[in-house]
């Protein structure tokens, strides 16, 4: 099963639930779908916002042990990472000509933590293998490399008895000032200052038509189109749209067309928010939601 889903600090901070009602309903629906499908392992393709990875920045890394950083009201505490399975996956990827890095332990930011908590209930609710894909700054691998990564990951689990849920978290169109206007990591105080100064302008950087076109392309069972997506195409959705690399990895790992559960451009959160699940899971479980 595959789940692709946006994350947003605005979602976590909106305690009064003033915005994003369609997105919230979609989150509740896919949470029930995941619970019904009952995965025994989650492979989570996620990004970072220049917090977790600093002096050393890999293009791709398999994480062997992790905790939540707690930024932007994301959760803290340990992830339940099956270390030997993660190590075996890394060895498989190296054998498949992916020069992946290994991260022995790291505090992952909301790019992993928010969706993990929202969908699984907590960071340690189910076994999770985090796979970091750099989506924020140089060195950015071509988007199609993420698609190839997803297929290679799926190959490793092909003969496994695990019920694997592949998650891609990030996007869709958004142009957050802290990423668009800076090239290096900032302190939390500096982040707040940059965001406050440019927040209003960023509300106009959501591209609903671009988002809906991408969701439409994800409906195809033929994932080959992802191999040809360019960095320039993603940039058209803003710097935050580069996080769709995580979606491409999850989509190709699942190897099945996606169904859109929810899409909503939320100006207050500066983001076009989408949720899509693999068609098989949608058809099996969504009727219960209707």
Count CB-CB contacts under 10 A for residue 22. Answer: 15
- The alpha helices in 130-256, defined as continuous H runs, are 143-156, 177-180, 188-202, 208-217, 231-235, 244-254
Q: Distance between CA atoms of 87 and 62, rounded to whole angstroms? A: 8
Half-sphere exposure of residue 36: CA atoms within 13 angstroms, side-chain side: 16
Read off the tokens for 223: 């994932």
- Sort 151 into a burial class: Cβ within 10 Å, 0-12 / 13-18 / 19+: middle
CB 111 within 8 A of CB 48: yes
Residues paired with residue 60 on neighbouring β-strands, in sequence order: 133
Q: Which residues contact 7 (CB under 8 A, 6 or more apart)?
A: 110, 111, 114, 115, 169, 170
Residues 6 or more apart whose CB falls under 8 angstroms from that of 135 comprise 47, 48, 170, 242, 243, 245, 246
Please name which of 111, 106, 81 lies closest in space to residue 5, comparing C-alpha atoms.
111
Q: For residue 73, what is the DSSP state?
A: G
At which residue do the structure tokens 């509740």 appear?
28
Q: Active-site residues: which are they?
A: 110, 174
């Amino acid at each position: 099963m595959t789940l692709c889903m946006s994350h947003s600090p605005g979602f976590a901070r909106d305690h009064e639930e003033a915005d994003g009602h369609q997105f919230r309903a979609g989150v509740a629906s896919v949470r029930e779908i995941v619970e019904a499908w009952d995965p025994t392992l989650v492979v989570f393709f996620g990004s970072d916002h220049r917090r977790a990875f600093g002096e050393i920045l890999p293009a791709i890394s398999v994480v062997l042990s992790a905790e939540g950083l707690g930024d932007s009201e994301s959760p803290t505490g340990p992830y339940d990472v099956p270390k030997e399975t993660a190590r075996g996956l890394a060895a498989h990827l190296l054998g498949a000509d992916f020069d992946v890095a290994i991260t022995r332990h790291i505090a992952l930011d909301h790019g992993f933590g928010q969706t993990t908590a929202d969908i699984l209930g907590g960071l340690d609710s189910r076994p999770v293998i985090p796979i970091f894909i750099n989506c924020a700054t140089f060195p950015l691998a071509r988007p199609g490399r993420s698609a190839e990564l997803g297929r290679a990951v799926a190959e490793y689990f092909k003969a496994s008895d695990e019920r694997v849920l592949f998650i891609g978290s990030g996007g869709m169109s958004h142009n957050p000032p802290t990423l668009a206007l800076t090239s290096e990591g900032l302190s939390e105080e500096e982040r707040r200052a940059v965001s406050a100064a440019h927040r209003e302008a960023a509300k106009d950087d959501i591209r609903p038509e671009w988002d809906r076109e991408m969701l439409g392309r994800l409906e195809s069972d033929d994932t080959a189109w992802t191999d040809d997506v360019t960095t320039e195409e993603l940039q058209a959705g803003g710097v935050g749209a580069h996080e769709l690399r995580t979606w491409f990895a999850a989509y190709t790992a699942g190897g099945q067309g996606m169904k859109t559960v929810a899409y909503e451009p939320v100006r207050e959160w500066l983001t076009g928010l989408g949720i899509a699940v693999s068609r098989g899971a949608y058809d099996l479980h969504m009727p219960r939601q209707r």
